[in-house]
A and B are shown apart, each in its own frame.
Chain A
């Protein structure tokens, strides 16, 4: 029996195709358009081939921003993932405190990015900020507007404050889905708390942690608003991450060609890293 062919089904897909086209595909193609041409305004374009790509890939400015970005993302992942797991493990499993903890955890996630940046900016100012003044009062010279290290620490602290909750909530959901029988069996088998963590909890959290790492990777790799409001990319260029640099090139210098090329490179790097990571994490499942 042959399957009936019904081309009318395409009609049902059209709304989605249109939506995706207008919010993703067409803007992206515009960027592609800019990345291979030079324009002086008035919609006059000159073909430039891969010149902008070569320029971006060879520029030390891009290399530095890229390394800075890698260092930042790596650092926050190394802090947020273990910290998130630790907090999730110490949260109560049942009782009235569960909802209290969950609400407290969710609070930072509800605050808009620019507000987080502004909050931390004021909080950490050495002369009027609570945190800044306290640190200075303890005899430590701290000024994130002038010292690169202080700016880095403040940016990382801000990101950890803002986003560890996401990891906590995901890890907690993973922990809650482990049936009691596993803990009971481990008790009967005489397992130590460490092997309970290593043999039961961590493997059972694998999927949610994969999601958590992916989300945190993508998000932190594209971070813009918070450091922009907090440090503006400074002092100097020390906290100029890829997005901040991109906006400087595109809107500050109005170099649309190189900016478009950089956008595309940036996009493919994120895509590639996510793909590699996901493939590695899920490799075992297929065996």
Chain B
């Protein structure tokens, strides 16, 4: 169990990085508390696996430090960090039985055989593997193998943190849900710090207490699922999280108010930036756009009925706007007009939110 601190962390896969683009991780400072479940969420290539491998010690960062409980472990080898990592593709030792697989990390560390047996049985029970202990590991299905990978992390009692690198990629959809609930249950039961890397927002939001959203090598926001949904700090968070994502529209300031295509908007922003300061955008989630006769006129492009709600794509001048409305809500056939909920309409300056 440990608190994880990342200090001025930067990493480049090149020996001599020249400019910003050469860094896979730009600059990361974070403090992750002991016993929480974190999700690293971001698109492919945003640096989340790099960050994970730095924490596990498979990579040494170009700059900065990694601390476990305020102890600098940046240059300590993986085996001594007391971490466990579960990879995208299940790693099992084919020639060994499930029991031997689970016992492997303990035996490598010279634990007495009777202790090994007790511990393996305990972990097998937690993971519902007790009936396949004698089986060859290679004969198991993908989710069974992934459970073994996880089990090899759980058998060690000194594990500081368990890290998951997109662990459900090769699991069948109906088993994904089961395995994810199992993870969550284990987290609550054991209280081990868990870091979960994924590009799937549903996985991240259901698994984690805190979601760390990464984009182009930087952390753009850390927050609970609710915070990420209601207060996206960056336009990337806005359109990456949510389905469909946030509407990001061009905006300008005049007459002490934000305007979108000439329409005055009320926003949640309390202190408007000055005129001509950076690129301004306004963001509003489709959930907070509604038909409103006092709003501005739009043209309806398409209506998708998803069964639970409808997604309406509309257009104002050349700006596409998506809105989510209730399944049974009427769609005006003539001169539709829409408006945004002021408390959920946010102003972004150079992609970052203005409060």
Is A199 within 8 A of B96, CB to CB?
yes
Task: State A200–B83 Cα separation when bound (angstroms).
Answer: 21
Q: Which of A90-98, A110-118, A179-187 contacts B (4 or more CB under 8 A)?
A: A179-187
Task: Report if A181-B79 is in contact (Cβ < 8 Å); known contacts: A188-B56, A287-B136.
Answer: no
Is B95 within 8 A of A181, CB to CB?
no
Instruction: Give the residues in chain A near B53, CB-CB below 8 Å.
Output: 184
Let me know if B43 is at the binding interface, CB within 8 A: no
Is B108 within 8 A of A189, CB to CB?
yes
Task: State A199–B95 Cα separation when bound (angstroms).
Answer: 7
Instruction: Give the residues in chain A near B152, CB-CB below 8 Å.
Output: 185, 189
Task: State A123–B270 Cα separation when bound (angstroms).
Answer: 90
Minimal Cβ-Cβ distance residue in B for A182:
B91
Let me know if B78 is at the binding interface, CB within 8 A: yes
Task: State A276–B254 Cα separation when bound (angstroms).
Answer: 87
Let me know if A192 is at the binding interface, CB within 8 A: yes
Is B89 within 8 A of A188, CB to CB?
no
Is B104 within 8 A of A191, CB to CB?
yes
Q: How many residues of A contact B (CB 8 A)?
A: 17
Task: Report if A200-B105 is in contact (Cβ < 8 Å); known contacts: A185-B87, A188-B78.
Answer: no
Question: How many cross-chain pairs have Cβ atoms below 8 Å apart between A and B?
Answer: 53
- Shortest B217–chain A CB gap in Å is 21
Is B95 within 8 A of A190, CB to CB?
no
Task: State A188–B94 Cα separation when bound (angstroms).
Answer: 17
Let me know if B139 is at the binding interface, CB within 8 A: yes
Is A188 within 8 A of B104, CB to CB?
no
Is A185 within 8 A of B91, CB to CB?
yes
Minimal Cβ-Cβ distance residue in B for A284:
B136
Is B56 within 8 A of A185, CB to CB?
no
Instruction: Give the residues in chain A near B153, CB-CB below 8 Å.
Output: 188
Task: State A182–B95 Cα separation when bound (angstroms).
Answer: 14
Task: State A203–B78 Cα separation when bound (angstroms).
Answer: 24
Majority secondary structure of chain B interface residues (helix, strand, loop or mixed): mixed
Task: State A152–B269 Cα separation when bound (angstroms).
Answer: 90
Is B95 within 8 A of A188, CB to CB?
no
B138-155 interface bits toward A, Cβ cutoff 8 Å, 1 = contact, 0 = none: 010000000001001100
Let me know if B26 is at the binding interface, CB within 8 A: no
Instruction: Give the residues in chain A near B308, CB-CB below 8 Å.
Output: none
Let me know if A195 is at the binding interface, CB within 8 A: yes
B92-117 interface bits toward A, Cβ cutoff 8 Å, 1 = contact, 0 = none: 01111000000011001100000000
Instruction: Give the residues in chain A near B27, CB-CB below 8 Å.
Output: none
Which residues of A164-212 have CB atoms within 8 Å of chain B's CB atoms?
Answer: 179, 181-182, 184-185, 187-192, 195, 199-200, 203-204
Extra inter-chain contacts (15) besides given A185-B91, A188-B56, A190-B105, CB under 8 Å: A179-B89, A181-B91, A184-B53, A184-B78, A184-B85, A184-B87, A185-B87, A187-B79, A189-B108, A190-B79, A190-B109, A192-B108, A204-B94, A287-B136, A287-B139
Let me know if B84 is at the binding interface, CB within 8 A: yes
Task: State A93–B297 Cα separation when bound (angstroms).
Answer: 62
Is A184 within 8 A of B104, CB to CB?
no
Minimal Cβ-Cβ distance residue in B for A285:
B138
Task: State A192–B110 Cα separation when bound (angstroms).
Answer: 12
Task: State A179–B91 Cα separation when bound (angstroms).
Answer: 9
- Shortest A182–chain B CB gap in Å is 5
Kindly identify which residue among B79, B96, B136, B139 contacts A188, using a CB–CB cutoff of 8 Å.
B79
Task: Report if A195-B91 is in contact (Cβ < 8 Å); known contacts: A188-B85, A189-B152.
Answer: no
